[in-house]
Structure formats: structure tokens, C-alpha cells
Amino acid sequence: MPPKIALQLYTLRDLTRNDFEGVVRKVAAMGYDGVETAGFDGSSLEAAKKLFAQLHLEVCGTHVPMPLSEKKKEVIETALAFGCKYLTVPHIGPNDVKDLDAVKDLCDRLNQSQAVAKENGLTLAIHNHWWEYARLDGRLIADIMLELLDPAVCFELDTYWILVGGSDPAERVAKIGARAPLLHIKDGPGVREAAQTAIGDGVMDFKAIRKAGGAHTEWWIMEADRVDGDPLAAVEKSLKAMKGLLQ
């Protein structure tokens, strides 16, 4: 079966702040299978849960902090409220990978987070940016992390940021294999500072990414950090493009 298609609602954050329900209804009407959350600006967890259920939108994952210390209860309750399989940590910054000691500390915290996730029937997934694809002592930071992380930790590979970081997204998807059930699908000129585009309007080779993921990929998740023009139009055009690619 082809992957299901979701939208990371962060893409529409400027709109959901003012009309969360109205915007989510438009996303459902487009034909998305699900959504991925990143907070609930303009709404609440309970209201969002009710809305998603009413619209038959599956929540493929939640972007949340690591479930440690004072954040533990809130993070776990958020994921469990939606029946998610994955608890996704997007908040890894450049300072977390600035040197080998920082990388070791980061992976230790991620391994602790995976233990907490497992206790609650969840799996930790990690969302990357471009800085994990820089080199440290001649090696990709992403490869160093692979060696240090619990093998149960999964990845939400952001294919666009992998390209921007200087690596081949399809090669990374193939290398990570079953540990990459979630793929962030975004497109653009491949330039860090530039606005992104609707899927199909940029430089990404999604056919190669689809082939590399094979049966391991559970979700394609459209995301754009910033687009020129109407983000809703980009979201709708991207859905049509992804459906064509996944046929």
C-alpha cells in the first residue's frame, strides 16, 4: 500500500491562529488523510481532538518537546489523546550538535525520551533540520547519532532539509529503512533562506524518495516553513502532486 498523506499544520500556523476549525475543515475537504500537530494555536487539545474525529482526520504524530522532567506528563497526554503511534521531537537545535560532547548529551536525552515513550506504548521519532547533515570530525552528525541512539528510536526524515544539508534524501531514506516510517515532504529551490514551494514546483526528486522508502514509509507529511503567496493554495496543490507520485 502507498503511504497515507498528512499535513503538518505548522504550515498553516498564520491562519489557524485566527480560525483553527475553519482552516482544518478546509484541509479535510481537500482530501488529506490526516494531520500532524505542532501545538493548538487558536484551539485546545480537546477541541482539536473532537474536530479531527468529526472530520475523520487521523493524527499521524505530534510535534512535542522531549517527554522529560516537567514536560513529561503534558507530552505523553497529548500523544495519547490522539491515539498516535509516534511522539516526534522537532526541537533539536544547532547547539545540540555543535561538538561531540553535545551530540552525546543529545542522544542520551533522546534515549531517555524513548524509554518514557515505550512505557506509554509510543515510539520516539526525531525530526531533522540541515545541521544534522553537517560534518563533525569528518563524519556526518546524522551518522554519529545513528550509532549512539537506541535502535528503537525512529526518524521523521525531513527530505528537503537533508538536501539543503548536502546529502541525498533518497539515499538517507534507503539507509534508515524501517526506522523512517514518517517522511516530511517539502519542496523548494534547495536554498536554506529561500521560501519553499508547493510539492512539484521545486528541485526535489520525490520519485526516487518514494522508491527508496518502499513499504517502510507509512506517511508522507507535507510541510512548508514559509511559502510565497497563499499557503492554502500550496497545500492543496501539494496534495494533488503527492497523490500523483504515490499512485
> Each residue of 183-196: pLDDT tens digit?
999 999 999 999 99
Residue 101's contacts (CB-CB under 8 Å, 6 or more residues apart) are: none
Q: How confident is the model at residue 42, as a pLDDT?
A: 83
Is the pLDDT confidence value at 86 over 90?
A: yes
Please state, for a pLDDT cut of 70, what percent of the chain lies above it: 100
Mean pLDDT of the chain: 96
Chain centroid to CA 71: 20
Give the span between the Cα atoms of 148 and 126, in whole angstroms.
14
Query: Which segments within 9-150 are labelled E, that is strand?
Result: 34-37, 58-63, 86-89, 123-127, 135-136, 139-140
Q: Is 44 helix (H, G, I), strand (E, B) or coil?
A: coil
Which pLDDT tens digit goes with each residue over 143-157? 999 999 999 999 999
Query: Does the structure show a pLDDT above 90 at 142?
Result: yes
Distances (CA, A) of 196 to 92, 96, 140, 189, 222: 21, 25, 25, 7, 12
pLDDT over threshold 90, residue 70: no
Can you say how many angstroms the Cα of residue 150 is from the centroid of all Cα atoms in its chain? 19
Largest CA distance in the chain: 51
Give phi and psi for 62, each to the nearest 5.
-130, 135
Cβ proximity of 174 and 208 under 8 Å:
no
**CB-CB contact of 27 with 20 (8 Å):** no
Q: Name all contacts of 69-72 with Cβ < 8 Å and 24+ positions apart.
A: 72/116
Report all structural domains of the chain as residue ranges with CATH numbers, in order of start.
4-245 (3.20.20.150)
